[in-house]
């Protein structure tokens, strides 16, 4: 059965083709996708924050933070049969939505992107495609049949100079 699954903030999904995973309205969040083409097995995680150390609660949701989400997703993908060598990793998001508030220090979006890249490096994985940073919100559609990622942004007006 063809399924379309929405992955909300701090959530994840893993599954096989046919189907699609969607992350709608990413701002400073980062969406990371994992794909094993041999099995047509994909995973998507919608990461909110860079570092789980910031959480003071005893129990944390691992898919909310970059440093815990990446190892969690790799291990879940491997449990479903994926091979780490075949994994194709892509990432989208980490934008700066409001310009005036975050002047002078690194934005939460940029910190999210850096934390994801660091966690992937530690796991020995490299990103094959990404669309990160900028000032626009993005929606991501991940097709499990092809492994293809499509991105939508708003386009409402052309600005005269």
Partner 1 sequence: MKTLETLELTSAQLDALTEIGNIGAGHAATVLAQLLGERITITVPKVSIVPIARAHEIVGEIEAVVVGIYLRVYGDAPGSILYLFPRQSAMELVDIMVGRKVGTTSLLREYEQSALKEIGNILTGAFLYALANFTGLAMLPSVPAYAMDMAGAILGTVLLEMGTVSDYALAIETDFLTKHQESRGHFFLLPDPGTLDVLLNAIGVGPGCSK
Among 151, 147, 133, 156, smallest CA distance to 38 is for 147
Concerning whether 31 is annotated as a catalytic residue, the answer is: no
| Residue (98 or 121) nearer to partner 1, CB | 98
Distance CA 1, CA 128 (A): 29
24 binding partner 1? (CB under 8 A): yes
Q: In whole angstroms, how close is the CB of 43 to partner 1 at the nearest point? A: 17
Place of tokens 């992937």: 120
Angle between the 108-122 and 66-79 helix axes, to the nearest 10 degrees? 40
| Residue (71 or 137) nearer to partner 1, CB | 137
Binders of partner 1 in range 82-121 (CB under 8 A): 95, 97-101, 108-109
Q: How many CB atoms lie within 10 A of CB 60?
A: 14
Residues that bind partner 1 (CB under 8 A): 8-11, 24-29, 48-49, 54-57, 61, 64, 95, 97-101, 108-109, 135-139, 152, 154, 156-157, 159-160
């Amino acid at each position: 059965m063809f399924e379309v699954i929405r992955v909300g903030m701090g959530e994840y999904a893993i599954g096989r083709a046919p189907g699609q995973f969607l992350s709608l309205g990413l701002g400073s969040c980062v969406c990371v996708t994992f794909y094993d083409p041999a099995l047509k097995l994909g995973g998507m995680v919608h990461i909110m924050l860079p570092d789980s150390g910031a959480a003071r609660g005893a129990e944390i949701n691992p898919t909310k933070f970059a440093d815990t989400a990446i190892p969690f997703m790799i291990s879940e993908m491997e449990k479903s049969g994926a091979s780490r060598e075949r994994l194709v990793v892509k990432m989208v998001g980490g934008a700066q939505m409001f310009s005036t508030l975050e002047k002078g220090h690194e934005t939460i979006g940029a910190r999210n992107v850096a934390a994801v890249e660091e966690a992937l490096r530690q796991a020995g994985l490299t990103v094959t495609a990404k669309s990160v940073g900028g000032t626009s919100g993005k929606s991501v559609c991940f097709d499990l049949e092809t492994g293809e990622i499509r991105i939508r942004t708003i386009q409402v007006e052309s600005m005269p100079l």
